[in-house]
Structure 1
Amino acid sequence: MIGAGVFGHLSDSFLGRKGSLQVVCVLNGVFGVLTAFAPNYWAYAALRLLTGFSAGSVGLCSFVLATEPVGPSRRGAAGMSTFYFFSGGIAALSGIAALFPSSWRALYVVTSIPSLVFVVAVLPFVSESPRWYLVRRRAGDALRVVRAIASCNGRSIPVDVTLKLDDEGDDDAGGGGKEVDSSASASGSIIDVFRSRTTRFRLVLSVVINLLASVVYYGLSLNVVNLKTNLYISVLVNSLAEMPAYLLTALLLDRFGRKPLAIGTMLLSGIFCSAGSFIAGAGAMRVARLACGVVGIFGMAATYNLLFIYTAELFPTAVRNAALGCTSQASQMGAILAPLVVVLGERVPFALFGVSGLIGGFLVFCLPETMNKPMYDTMAGLEEGEKSLLK
């Protein structure tokens, strides 16, 4: 929760998307490996805190870095495709954990090394976000990345094309590669988000919706202990249930839009979780409860990851990671609350998950649709864009 806020700000400022991702992956891998050698409980707890500080931002930084260079017609599909790897990791974790049932130290080493491998084998070939370059007033670097992307796609950018921020006038194209001091950049902070009435309202709603979605998402994942079924199989089934949710969302995202899908998936999860709260008993009833949980996590997995795309499009580049960091903090708070709900028994957790899903679904009605809308770069550009829409 702390790391999401810290690195959300740093990735909007001097570190950038790629630099922040590199730092959090190294920290995540190093602290994870060191945890395996913890000599006592307090050393273990401290290392888990440090691991969480870094791990909480890996998904945030990588998601924004992967989606910012993508245009509106493909942004939804590209964003949802990133989450297959998240669910694939959970599915793999259930198998890896089964191989080390009595050696948690070895499990920490095996699950931490991939972060370090990623930094060495993959990240050097990933470019920085051109949008981040642009808000840092480094239009030349932004154009260089865009040209490299075009070249990889077998396309070319005309030599007379320049880039400019959406708060710049026509006479200030800024495409000559001139760099100015970072103090003149268009970067902002979470304070700037609260100063604007438009983004303040969006952020408050996004925080509450993400909190509710996280309680349900993590709660259903942890609730396998109340299902009285095989733990490893239940975790595997839950993770596999998420994958078709991503596929279905990716297919429907640019057909129906972000808002209707977020409403539909949250309500779907809420309805089935509510139904699960009325099911008691063993045998067939236990299987029925598991089925309600699977459909519930199917819907909420789609929502939980769709919210990443939705939130990223609601805020301009200058404060995008800061806003996403704030909503990620809300998600982590939901993850903290989820175990407290799970320990309430077999039926009560399902009831609370159901209510959370239904309330969250109705709150999404208050957010604007962002499908095929431009991703603004600055706060001023967003305000001007909103005014033009009202006109």
Structure 2
Amino acid sequence: MVYNVNNVFFSHRFGRKKVVFISLAAQCVSVLLQSFSHSWIMFCVMFLFIGASQISLYISAFVLGTEVLSKTMRVLFSTLGAFLFYCIGYMTLPWIAYGIREWRTLLAVLSTFSVVYIPLWWFIPESPRWLITQGRIEEVEAFLRDAARKNKVEAPSVIFKKSELQDISKNKTYTILDVLKSKNIRCITLMCLLLWMAINIGYFGLSLNTSNLSGNPFMNCFLSAASEVPAYVVSTWLLKKCPRRALLSSFLIIGGGVLLLIQFIPDTLYNFALALEMTGKFGFTIAFSIVYIYTAEIYPTVLRNVGMGMCSSAARIGSITAPYIIYLGTYSKALPYILMGSLTIASSVVNLFLPETLNKDLPETLAQMQECQGLCIGTKKRKYVENEVNSPTQHEGKADVPGLTV
């Protein structure tokens, strides 16, 4: 969680792209060093660095892709692009582990996979939205003209006006404290934190529980991963047409409902229990993919990485808690499912108070951020927005970067 805060700072200070590749290198080195562990303490310490670098890589890469791509491509990237390939790796892992039973060799082999991504440095651009916040307008214009050429469209002769350039050069630097200044943003953030934590508890709880199921553990792990493939395909289609808020609540109810029902299945009906567990995993997987793009669309560019980092920290609390909830099954088989199901159903209700983002442009400033749909709107929020609108750093149509597919 501390690493998430550092990731937010470095990603905003040095750029999304640099943090992505630094995190990738850190993950590769950490996994390799873990294979040489000579004690349990060293193994756990290296696991700490692996988890920190992995989530930093994931969040930074997700934000980078979200800020570079257009609305249509953003949905494809958020589901099939990011999560589907995560799923393919998840499906491949049990078979690699099946073939390499010695854990040191397995970790050494896994660490080498990161090397194949090094050439991507020359193909992945820096986020133009982040470049704008840093006043690096020449690089943004070069990126937009190159993207227009690749998309076979004609870029305007003047992309940024002089008045816009003057305002951009005075752009304010935002920190994690800005999340606390507005009542609206505080409420939205608290609801997002609860959502991310609940989804991760359900998602990782079911993922970790596969080892407790009857049958071959390698096959169970593979089936758990394979159940995510149709989920990502379905979520891609639904996200193009359906409101994020209603969609997320619906699948949270499906996932939570399955968790509450599965406790009544007797041990003799193994196949039916496994099918129900995979159905719950299906619902949580779709919710998992939706909440990423939904959160990225809620927060403005100046706070997007901050918001995603805080939500990721809440998600880590959920993933840390999940094994202990599963462990409660040693005392009562039904208890883990009741806890995870109840929390998921409660989060689906909280989600209804978030603003809708379907067919909305990505907000660039705090003034463009939507209001939550509950009791969080007050005079303080309106005064804060008025100050943002009237400040020299905000103006109508400021640096609106069109999303272009590269």
Q: Which residue of 2 aligns with 1:174?
A: 165
Match of 2:360 among 373, 377, 386: 373
CA gap 1:255/1:179 in 2 versus in 1, 3 angstroms: closer
- The amino acid across from 1:291 in the alignment is A
**CA–CA separation in structure 1 for the residues paired with 2:187 and 2:121:** 36
Q: Which residue of 1 aligns with 2:75?
A: 76
TM-superposed deviation, 1:376: 1.6
Mapped pair 1:157 → 2:155: yes
- Count of residues in correspondence between the two structures: 371
**Equivalent position SS for 2:289:** helix
Q: Which residue of 2 aligns with 1:359?
A: 346
Q: Which residue of 2 aligns with 1:274?
A: 260
Q: Which residue of 1 aligns with 2:103?
A: 104
Mapped pair 1:257 → 2:243: yes
TM-superposed deviation, 1:154: 2.1
CA gap 1:367/1:179 in 2 versus in 1, 3 angstroms: closer
Which residues of 2 match residues 142-291 of structure 1 at below 5 A?
Answer: 142-162=140-160, 172-174=163-165, 180=169, 184-282=170-268, 285-291=269-275
TM-superposed deviation, 1:263: 0.7
**CA–CA separation in structure 2 for the residues paired with 1:124 and 1:376:** 28
Q: Which residue of 2 aligns with 1:89?
A: 89
Q: Which residue of 2 aligns with 1:307?
A: 291
Q: Deviations over 1:237-259 (max 9, x none)?
A: 11111111111111011211211
Q: Which residue of 2 aligns with 1:322?
A: 306
CA gap 1:31/1:280 in 2 versus in 1, 3 angstroms: same
Q: % of aligned pairs identical? A: 28
Mapped pair 1:347 → 2:347: no
What is the root-mean-square deviation in Å for CA atoms of aligned residues? 2.1
- The amino acid across from 1:18 in the alignment is K
Mapped pair 1:4 → 2:4: yes
Which residues of 2 match residues 120-139 of structure 1 at below 5 A?
Answer: 120-139=118-137
- The amino acid across from 1:254 in the alignment is K
Q: Deviations over 1:236-287 (max 9, x none)?
A: 11111111111111101121121111011111111111110111223xx121
Contact 2:65 2:74 in 1 (8 A): no
Question: More deviation in 186-195 or 366-375?
Answer: 186-195
Q: Deviations over 1:35-94 (max 9, x none)?
A: 111222222222221222211211101111112122234422331122101111100111
Q: Which TM-score applies when normalising by structure 2?
A: 0.86
**CA–CA separation in structure 1 for the residues paired with 2:310 and 2:231:** 25
**CA–CA separation in structure 2 for the residues paired with 1:272 and 1:203:** 28
Question: More deviation in 297-306 or 341-350?
Answer: 341-350
TM-superposed deviation, 1:213: 0.5
Contact 1:68 1:131 in 2 (8 A): yes
Q: Deviations over 1:165-217 (max 9, x none)?
A: xxxxxx62229xx995xxx5444122101112221111000001110100000
**Equivalent position SS for 2:163:** coil
Q: Which residue of 1 aligns with 2:388?
A: none
- The amino acid across from 2:219 in the alignment is I
Contact 1:77 1:253 in 2 (8 A): no
Q: Which residue of 2 aligns with 1:168?
A: none
CA gap 1:172/1:380 in 2 versus in 1, 3 angstroms: farther
**CA–CA separation in structure 1 for the residues paired with 2:111 and 2:17:** 20
**CA–CA separation in structure 1 for the residues paired with 2:175 and 2:123:** 29
Contact 1:25 1:116 in 2 (8 A): no
**CA–CA separation in structure 1 for the residues paired with 2:343 and 2:259:** 10
Question: More deviation in 222-231 or 83-92?
Answer: 222-231
Q: Deviations over 1:262-314 (max 9, x none)?
A: 011111111111110111223xx121111111000101011112111011111
CA gap 1:179/1:195 in 2 versus in 1, 3 angstroms: closer
TM-superposed deviation, 1:383: 7.1
TM-superposed deviation, 1:321: 0.8
**CA–CA separation in structure 1 for the residues paired with 2:53 and 2:77:** 24
TM-superposed deviation, 1:5: 2.3
TM-superposed deviation, 1:133: 0.5
Contact 2:211 2:221 in 1 (8 A): no
Q: Which TM-score applies when normalising by structure 1?
A: 0.90
Mapped pair 1:295 → 2:279: yes
CA gap 1:249/1:27 in 2 versus in 1, 3 angstroms: same
**CA–CA separation in structure 1 for the residues paired with 2:298 and 2:93:** 33
Query: Gaps (5+ residues) in structure 2?
Result: 372-380, 386-406
Q: Which residue of 1 aligns with 2:390?
A: none
**CA–CA separation in structure 2 for the residues paired with 1:383 and 1:261:** 19
TM-superposed deviation, 1:353: 2.1
**CA–CA separation in structure 1 for the residues paired with 2:334 and 2:209:** 10
**Equivalent position SS for 1:211:** helix
- The amino acid across from 2:220 in the alignment is S
**CA–CA separation in structure 1 for the residues paired with 2:250 and 2:232:** 14
Q: Which residue of 1 aligns with 2:62?
A: 63
**CA–CA separation in structure 2 for the residues paired with 1:334 and 1:124:** 36
**CA–CA separation in structure 2 for the residues paired with 1:324 and 1:230:** 37
